[in-house]
Chain A
Amino acid sequence: MRHRLFPRDGAVKQRGGARRSVSLYHGVVVNEALRRTPLYAAHLAAGARMVPFGGWEMPVQYSSILEEHRRVRRAVGLFDVSHMGEFEVAGPGAIGALQYLTTNDAAALDVGQVQYSLLCSPAGGIVDDLTVSRLDDDRFMLTVNASNIETDWAWVTGHSRGDARWRNISAETALLAVQGPRAEPLVADLADCDVKSLGYYRFRDGAVAGLRALISRTGYTGEDGFELYVAAPDAERLWRTLLDRGAPAGIAPVGLGARDTLRLEMRYVLYGNDIDQTTNPLEAGLGWVVKPAKGDFIGRDAIEKMRAAGIPRKLVGFEMVDRAVPRHGCRIVKEGRAVGVVTSGTYGPSVDRYIGIGYVETPLSAVGSEIQVEVRGVPQTARVVKTPFHPSNVKKS
């Protein structure tokens, strides 16, 4: 069989020699310098199928993508997302630097609070999407996409202003996500502090299974859960303890395949697929994390001009009416005319539909609008729908 793979891998840096990796799909040998998280051996031991992702060798699935997806919605799943990057910025100039670099209002954060935000270019394109956590009055942590660690580091240090000290703590930090309706009792049982009262997009410094951890009530699945930041040497022990103590709750490792179907059902964007330097926050539906009133930031002028001129296209969610699987890159047409493009598409196991998101001309972006998605050259009918496709179960406030 000859396979065509989706989604496209993020920016993979080609370097000479180094590690050869046999990809998921038979016969395709990938010669890349792929990085590995501290849990690489644990993934192999759990029977994971490893694939290249954003320059890393990551588990795409352990048993079945559909089974892993359903486990997160019904019980609890464990993700290794240690490939993501973390930066710390501290000092009297930290808040000023962050306000200039990011679109959201970092000054509005309490200590112990997290916000979703963007790094934009002067043209208003998106350099990365990220979260910003306030560790102290003058100390913050940024969590960035794995495929953008180097470019983001160069970006923030290159554009930083004022008295701000930056540290790239990605290599020394591991990140495990525990997600699902049964995540809270499991983490509460292992934590040395109260996590039940921890609100959504809030975090606490404590210990889980006796290991120092920043416990953050965040995630990328639409279920309740936690992301646990620990020192890299502690990752394996925490992983094994969570699998062990979570066994009665039905915990199992969950790979990037299910991570993608879970986030897509929630209409969460994926950098490299749905947003990149050629897209702007307004058309991507991310205007809610752009706060021009907070003061100047990179891209503010360009974004304000776009807002004033009107947005010609919008990122919408759609559901297939004809039977076909929408995929990244499929053209969207209307009566023979090209009107947009699919940026992410899949079968959504929790909604039992073929779903996708993509950019369409603004007049066609209303819920109920009928469009056609070209799959293998054949226009297949689809309909713009309200998103998220599946209800959110994150902790209320």
Chain B
Amino acid sequence: MAKVPADLKYTREHEWAKAEGTTVRVGITEYAQEQLGDVVFVELPAVGAKVAQMQGFGVVESVKAVSDLFAPLDGAVALVNEALRDAPELVNQDPYGRGWMIVITPSRPAQLDALMTAKQYEDFLAGGAS
């Protein structure tokens, strides 16, 4: 079963969200990178761009597929992982660490509480993730 760190929150679109003081770091889960296969390209927004919960903020491409990325909460992009430009494989190698994608300054931080816990995400995966 794919790794699901206990200290993160999760979405049904297989993103993870990590509270870091006043900001929230976002990436895709181990399950998502396994399903995708080799990531060869990541398209991320510019710093300052607005994101809205469950709206697309970018795209992750593997050799065979193109997948949209969905923001777990409303806010503005504070940081973008520039390392993914030349090393998109970081998403496969370390999806919860060096494969992080954006950091958001949330406009409604309470949205984080409504996301799935690790246990809920595990159950979601076990139930077929649909």
B-contacting residues of A (Cβ < 8 Å)?
Answer: 1-6, 24-27, 49, 60-61, 64-66, 257, 261, 323-325, 327, 346-347, 354, 376
Contact = CB atoms under 8 A, between A and B. Distances in A.
A191 B40 CA distance: 39
B63 A1 contact: no
Nearest to B69: A1
Nearest to A256: B64
A66 B38 contact: yes
B14 interface: yes
Given A1-B14, A25-B35, A26-B35, A325 B67 contact: no
Interface string B52-78: 000000011111111111000000000
A66 B14 contact: no
Interface residues on B, range: 20 to 34
Contact of B65 (A25, A27, A261, A324): A25
Given A64-B38, A347-B41, A5 B64 contact: yes
B64 A1 contact: no
A64 B14 CA distance: 21
Given A1-B32, A1-B68, A3-B66, A27 B85 contact: no
A91 B93 CA distance: 58
A261 B40 CA distance: 12
Contacts of A25: 35, 65
B45 interface: no
B88 to A, nearest CB: 9
Nearest to A4: B66
Contacts of A65: 37-38, 62-64
B122 interface: no
Nearest to B63: A65
A-B pairs with lowest CB-CB distance, top 9: A347-B40, A1-B67, A3-B65, A66-B38, A65-B63, A4-B66, A325-B41, A3-B67, A325-B61
B41 to A, nearest CB: 5
A325 B36 CA distance: 15
B15 to A, nearest CB: 9
Contact of B64 (A6, A323, A376): A6
Contact of B85 (A2, A323, A347): A323
B125 to A, nearest CB: 10
Contacts of A60: 64
A27 B66 contact: no
Interface of B: 13-14, 28, 32, 35-38, 40-41, 59-69, 85, 89, 92, 129-130
A24 B62 CA distance: 12
Contacts of A324: 41
Nearest to B29: A1
Contact of A327 (B35, B37, B66): B66
User: B36, B60, B66, B67 — which one has the most chain A CB atoms within 10 A of its CB?
Assistant: B66
A257 B67 contact: no
A330 B63 CA distance: 16
A2 B68 contact: yes
A60 B28 CA distance: 23
A300 to B, nearest CB: 38
A27 B129 contact: yes
Given A1-B14, A27-B130, A325 B40 contact: yes
A327 B66 CA distance: 10
Given A25-B35, A325-B41, A257 B63 contact: yes
A395 B22 CA distance: 61
Contact of B129 (A26, A346, A347): A26
A5 B37 CA distance: 12
B12 to A, nearest CB: 10
Nearest to B14: A1
Contacts of B66: 3-4, 6, 325, 327
A261 B85 CA distance: 21
B122 to A, nearest CB: 16
Nearest to A346: B63
Contact of B41 (A24, A27, A323): A323
9 contacts: A2-B67, A3-B67, A4-B66, A25-B35, A64-B38, A65-B38, A257-B64, A325-B40, A325-B61
Given A4-B65, A257-B64, 12 more contacts: A1-B68, A1-B69, A3-B36, A3-B66, A5-B65, A25-B65, A26-B35, A26-B130, A65-B37, A66-B89, A346-B63, A347-B41
